[in-house]
Chains A and B, each alone.
Chain A
Amino acid sequence: MTNRMVLAVLGSCAAIAWLAAPAAAQKVVKIGDLGSKVGVFEGYGKYQTMAIQMAVDELNAKGGVLGHKIEIISEDDETKPAPAVRKAEKLILQDDVKLLIGAVSSGSTMAVMDVTKKLKTIHWNSVSCAEFMRTTKFHKYYFSNQPDSRMQANGLAKYIVDKMGKRVYIFYTDYAMGQSDGRQFKTALEKLGGEVVGVAGAPLDTKDFSPWFGAINKTNPDVLFLAFAGTDSLRLMTQLHSFGMTKKYKLAGIDCFLLQQDLPAIAEPMEGFVQLAHYSAYNPDPNMQAFNTKFKKKYGVDANIMAGAYDAVLFWAAAVEKVKSFDADKVAEAQEGMCLDNTHIGRQCIRKEDHQVVMDMHLYQVKGGKNLPIATLAGKDTIGEAMVGKDPAEGFTWEIKKKN
C-alpha cells in the first residue's frame, strides 16, 4: 500500500467519524444539583433533585436551552459544609456546570456561596433560610426563592401574638439556620409586643431532646416556637408528644420544619401545629394544584416546598434565552427583576436589589396529618427592605427581657 493510499483510508475514516458524531449528540449544558442525600436533611435533597429533573425534562422536551440539551449532575453534601464546598468546586471546575442549585442546609449554602462568588457561577438557593445570604454574604451571582428567616418571622410572629399567645419560648437548632430564625423571631415578636420567655438551642442532629424540656416547662410559655427541620423535627415532635408537651403548649414552626410527606407518620403529635410555607399540596390555589397534579403524575407523590428548585431552573433558562448566552455576568443581570408566570406557585418576580424572589407565603395548620391553609401573607409585606451588606438584626441580643 502506498503512502497516498494509507492517507486516503485514514482520511475517510476521520471524515466518517466527524460526520457521525454530531448527528448522535446535541450540544449539552450541565447544571449542578447539590443537595443532602444523607443526614438530617436527606428528604429535602431527594425532592430537590426531583423538582430539578422535572423542570429539565420539560425544557429538554422543548429543545433544551439555547439549543443545548440540559444535563443534571447531582452531588451529595452529607448535610455538612466541608463536603458541600468540595462538591461545589467539583461541579464547577470539573463538570463545568453553568448553574448550581443548593445546598439544603444554610451552613452548607453559605459555604458554597464563597465558591460560586469566586468562580463566578449562577447560584440558586431554594430551601436554605438563614438571613445572611441576601444580606452580609450576598453576591452578584446568588439568587434565592426560599423565604428567609426575616420573611418568615415577619409573617408568623404577628399571627402568633394575635392568635396564639403572647408568652413565647423559642427553641432552635443551633447552627446558621436555627440561630438566624431565633434572632429574627425574637426581634419580630418583641417588636409586636410579645414576650420571649426563654430561648435555647440544641445541636443539629440531636438524638434526645428531653434534657431541654425542663427549662421549657420552667418558663411555662403559651407558645413553643420551633426552628428545626428534617429528622430533627421528627424526633423532637415525637419526644415532645411523649412528655405531654404537645398538648400543654401551642406549637408553631418554620417553613422547612417538616415535609408534607413526613406528616402522616407523626400526625398525632403534629395536630394543631401552625407552620408557615410557600407551598402545600393541600392548598386549593389553582397554580399549586396544577403543579401538584403534574408532579404527582410524574413521581406518584405529592410535591412539597422543594418545588422551588423547579422555578430556579426556569428562571435561569429564561435568562439564558433572553441574553443568548451562558455567561454568568449576563445571566445574573438578566435575572435581576425578572418575572415568570409559570412557576410552581404562579407569577413570581425576582427583586433586583437582593435577588430575593418576592414570595407569598401561607400559614397552615395541621389537621389529621394534612397541612390546611389558614391565612395568606403577601410577599411584599414580609420581604422587608433590601439590606445587602448589613446585619439584618443589628444590636440583637439573646438576653431575655423580664416583664413584671
Chain B
Amino acid sequence: MEYLSGVLLPQLLHGVVFGAALGLLALGLTVIFGLLGVMNFAHGELYMFGAYAGITVIGLTSSFWVALVAAPLLVAVVGALTEVATLRPLYRREPLYGLIMTFGLAMVFREGARQIWGGGMRRILPPIEGSIPLLGMIYPKYRLFLLAMSSALLLAIWLFFTRTRAGIIVRAAVQDAEMLDGLGVNVPRVFTLTFAGSAALAALAGLLLAPVFTVYPQMGVEVILLAFIVVILGGMGSLGGSVVAAFVIGIAQSLLTLWMNPQRVAIAIFGIMIVVLIVRPRGFFGREGVLE
C-alpha cells in the first residue's frame, strides 16, 4: 500500500502531467504535418518563443496570467508571418523543400533568441506556489494546474475540430486541400491561420512548462524530439493518435524510471520508436500510405 501511494502513484501522475503537456506540443506538430506533408522542425523553436515571449510579457506586466494569453498571440503572429513569407512559396514543391526550410528556420529562430535574450538560463516562477497532500503523497500545485490546463486545452481542441465549422475546414484541408479549394474555400488563408494556431499551441506549451523546465535557447530542441516520437507513434497526421501517444510516452517514461536511470529511459523510448517504425510505420492510428 505504501509502495502504491509513495512510489507508483506519484510516478503515474508525473507521466500524466508530462503526457498532457506533450500532447499540446504534438498536436500542433501533427496538424502541420497533415497540411505541409512534412514535419515542422521549427516547432520546438516556437515552443521556445512562447517561453521567452512569456518572460518579456511578465517583465512588462508582472503577471503570468496576462502572459499566458499574450505570449501565444504574439507567437501566433510570428507563426503567421513565417508561413506567408517562407512556407507558402514552397507548397507546390516537393515536401523536402519544406523540410529543409523549417530546419533552417529552426536555426535562425534559435540563434535569434540567443541574440535577443542571451544564451543564459532564465527562470519563470510558478504562478501557483506550494504543494498539497493528495492521495497520501505530496504534489506541487503548479503541476496539478498544468495537468488541468493541458487537459482543458486538449478537450477544447477536440471540440474545435469536431464541432466547429472552422475545425472541419482545417480537417478537410488536411485530407484534400485541392478539393477544398475547388469548393470555394480560401485555402491559403486556412493554411496561414492553422500554422498560426499551431504556433500558439506550441507557445502555450512552452510557457506552461517554463516554470518546470526553465527557459534557454536550446529548450525547443530537447523537447521536440520527444514530440516527433509522439507524432510518429500516434500515426502521422492523426490528431487522436497524437494525444493517446503523448500519454503513453509520458506514462511509460515515468514508470520506466523506477527500474532504470532516466537517461537510459530516453534511449529506450527511441528504441520503441524504431521498433514501431519497422513493424507498423503508420503508428497507432495513422492512415495507410502516409509513410509506407
Contact = CB atoms under 8 A, between A and B. Distances in A.
A201 B261 contact: yes
Contacts of A241: 131
A202 interface: yes
A214 B212 contact: no
A235 B263 contact: no
Contact of A210 (B14, B259, B261): B14
Contacts of A202: 262-263
Interface string A243-277: 11000000000000000000000000000000000
B222 to A, nearest CB: 8
B121 A231 contact: yes
A218 B131 contact: no
Interface string A195-232: 00000111100011011111101101000000000010
A242 interface: yes
Given A202-B262, A243-B131, A244-B131, A213 B10 contact: yes
Contacts of B130: 242
B258 A218 contact: yes
Interface residues of B, number: 30
A164 interface: no
A217 B6 contact: yes
**Binding site secondary structure of chain A:** helix
Contacts of B253: 211
B213 A214 contact: no
B10 to A, nearest CB: 7
Q: Which of B11, B119, B262 has the most CB of A within 10 A?
A: B262
A235 B131 contact: no
B137 A244 contact: yes
A242 B140 contact: yes
A38 interface: yes
B261 A200 contact: yes
B140 A243 contact: yes
A185 to B, nearest CB: 18
Contact of B131 (A42, A201, A220, A242): A242
B213 A208 contact: yes
Contacts of B11: 214
B138 interface: yes
Interface in B101-148: 119-121, 130-131, 133, 137-140, 142
B119 A211 contact: no
A208 B6 contact: no
A38 B261 contact: no
B151 interface: no
A242 B254 CA distance: 18
B7 interface: yes
Contact of B257 (A201, A207, A212, A235): A212
Given A202-B262, A208-B212, A242-B131, A214 B7 contact: yes
Nearest to A200: B261
B126 to A, nearest CB: 9
A178 B171 CA distance: 51
B82 interface: no
A244 B138 contact: yes
A242 B14 CA distance: 13
A235 B122 CA distance: 12
Nearest to B214: A207
A212 B262 contact: yes
Contacts of B10: 213-214, 217, 243
A215 to B, nearest CB: 6
B216 to A, nearest CB: 9
B153 interface: no
Interface string A314-348: 00000000000000000000000000000000000
A242 B219 CA distance: 23
Q: Which of A214, A215, A235 has the most CB of B within 10 A?
A: A214
B254 A211 contact: yes
Interface in B243-274: 253-254, 257-259, 261-263, 265
Q: Which of B139, B258, B261 has the most CB of A within 10 A?
A: B261
B138 A214 contact: no
A217 B131 contact: no
B6 A243 contact: no
Interface string A89-102: 00000000000000
A-B pairs with lowest CB-CB distance, top 3: A244-B138, A242-B140, A211-B262
7 contacts: A203-B263, A207-B214, A211-B257, A214-B11, A215-B258, A217-B7, A244-B133
